[in-house]
Amino acid sequence: MDDPMLLKPGLYRRAGSSARPDHPALLGGACACGYVFFPLQRYGCERCGGLDLEPRVLTGAGRLLAAARVHLHAGKGREAPFTVGSIKLDDGPIVRTLIEGDESQLRPGASMVTILAAVTDAEGEERFDLRFAPEG
């Protein structure tokens, strides 16, 4: 079931949701109380503490809350500059993510969608990892 070409197949899938079939879906969860979260976890609901949690496919689209260009990065494995941002998904959760695409479109409230970007994993194999980009 897992797509071997995806870097983190537990977090997203190539196929979109029914609402946005053209953009990779995120693999989140939902509680019986209605709270929707990402990523999927089994420790308990952050809102009610309940354990009645189920997988929920989340649409790969949302609105940009904030973005920042990183010019100096002390960590290994990622070459600066790159852009990070917070996006409020249409399904509710807020995700922190790498952002690609036209910087001039990165205004708060901008419509953002998921894309798959080619990356090289720790073994030197080509994989795809999830990013967000401005829509259109």
Q: Sort strands 126-134 and 111-120 into parallel, antiparallel or unpaired.
A: antiparallel
Token pair of 121 as six digits: 């994993």
Q: CA-to-CA distance for 72 and 75, rounded, in angstroms?
A: 9
Tell me the H-state helices in 1-136.
Answer: none
45 belongs to the binding site for Zn ion (CB under 5 A) = yes
Q: What is the closest distance, in whole angstroms, from the C-beta atom of residue 75 to Zn ion in the complex?
A: 34
- Count of residues making up the chain: 136
Of residues 47, 69, 78, 96, which one binds Zn ion by CB under 5 A? 47
Nearer to Zn ion by C-beta: 33 or 118? Answer: 33
**What does the per-residue mask of binding to Zn ion show for 5-44, with x meaning CB under 5 A?**
--------------------------x-x-x---------
